[in-house]
């Protein structure tokens, strides 16, 4: 398979049979992502039609032709706790579609199925890890908007109109997914993801998202655009366990603020 034939990049990471990351990047600008690369899994899925190949092009610049010429499917003989990495490439559609509905006629890639405690090393395993990290970094701001739309029902002005989201149905499940998202995201990045964006609810009311981050908590509020003087609500006192962000306050719809520990 030649580089110019590639039209989709697929990255999957699984641990213990649970999917930590599923990321699809298409040449036609379609983006699809579920998860942040860690566990517990984040089942919130977003698909957007961006009409730009910028992310795809940057990733493909890092792919040597040799990777496409020499696929690898390696599995350790003895596995107790599986850890799976997949980097796959698809192209040459037979049905004329180039996005989610495409029927590809060519594919190649890399797959490693290892034991979680494996000491196995391979240059292409490092290459795959680097590609996953770069793809995550390139889609993190977009995926933040997916999370906000799924959980808080507010749409970013940076999010393409052609966006599809699949998420948990109950409020408790969504709050848990949001908590897991925060656990797996660098807190210092959260405000960066929200900066210079406006988020609108179904009534058209617009908000900025503001974060208040300390050593032991992360809070945010949806601040209506044009309204001054709103304050973050006082945090509810709670003893902080070391590196424990497993608890989240249920949203207070009247005050529009949320906090994680």
Q: Give tens-digit pLDDT for 160-212.
A: 999 999 998 899 999 999 999 999 999 989 999 999 999 999 999 999 999 99
State the pLDDT confidence band at 66, using cuts at 50, 70 and 90.
Answer: very high
Ordered DSSP codes for 207-259:
EEEEEEE-SS-EEEEEEETT-----PPPPPP-PPPTT----BPPPBTTTTEEE
75 or 253, which is more confident?
75
**How does the average pLDDT of the chain come out, rounded?**
88
Report the C-alpha gap between 123 and 231 in whole angstroms: 51
Asked whether the predicted pLDDT for residue 244 surpasses 80, the reply is no
Asked whether the predicted pLDDT for residue 6 surpasses 50, the reply is yes
Asked whether the predicted pLDDT for residue 115 surpasses 60, the reply is yes
66 or 228, which is more confident?
66
The pLDDT, as a whole number, for residue 249 is 41
CA atoms within 13 A on the CB side of 159: 28
Pairing of β 18-26 and β 30-34: antiparallel
Kindly state the tokens that stand for 36.
Answer: 């942040």
Strand partners, 107: 90
- pLDDT tens across 116-134, in order? 999 999 999 999 999 999 9
Instruction: Check if the beta carbon of residue 149 is closer than 8 Å to that of residue 159.
Output: yes
Going from the N-terminus, what domains does the chain have, and what CATH number goes with each?
3-152 (3.30.1560), 171-260 (no CATH)
The pLDDT, as a whole number, for residue 165 is 97
The pLDDT, as a whole number, for residue 127 is 96
Rounded to an integer, the average pLDDT of 128-145 is: 97
State the pLDDT confidence band at 25, using cuts at 50, 70 and 90.
Answer: very high
- pLDDT tens across 81-95, in order? 999 999 999 999 999
- Torsions phi, psi of 65, nearest 5? -60, -30
Nearest to 63 by CA among 124, 137, 133: 124
Report the C-alpha gap between 58 and 138 in whole angstroms: 9
Rounded to an integer, the average pLDDT of 74-79 is: 95
């Amino acid at each position: 398979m030649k580089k110019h034939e590639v039209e989709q990049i697929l990255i999957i990471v699984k641990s213990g049979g649970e999917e930590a990351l599923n990321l699809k990047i298409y040449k036609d600008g379609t983006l699809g992502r579920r998860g942040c690369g860690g566990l517990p899994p984040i089942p919130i899925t977003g698909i957007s039609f961006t009409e730009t190949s910028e992310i795809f092009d940057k990733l493909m610049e890092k792919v040597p032709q040799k990777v496409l010429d020499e696929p690898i499917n390696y599995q350790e003989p003895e596995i107790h706790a599986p850890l799976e990495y997949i980097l796959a490439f698809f192209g040459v559609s037979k049905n004329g579609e180039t996005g989610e509905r495409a029927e590809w006629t060519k594919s190649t890639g890399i797959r490693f199925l290892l034991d979680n405690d494996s000491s196995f090393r391979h240059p292409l395993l490092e290459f795959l890890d680097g590609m996953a990290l770069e793809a995550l970094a390139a889609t993190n701001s977009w995926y933040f908007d997916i999370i906000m739309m799924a959980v808080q029902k507010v749409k970013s002005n940076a999010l393409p109109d052609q966006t599809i989201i699949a998420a948990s149905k109950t409020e408790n499940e969504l709050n848990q997914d949001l908590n897991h998202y925060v656990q797996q995201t660098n807190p210092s990045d959260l405000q960066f993801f929200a900066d210079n964006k406006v988020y609108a609810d179904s009534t058209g009311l617009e908000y900025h998202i503001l974060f208040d981050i300390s050593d032991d908590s992360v809070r945010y509020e949806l601040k209506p655009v044009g309204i001054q003087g709103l304050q973050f609500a006082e945090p509810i006192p709670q003893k902080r366990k070391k590196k424990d962000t497993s608890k989240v306050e249920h949203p207070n719809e009247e005050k529009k603020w949320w906090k994680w520990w």
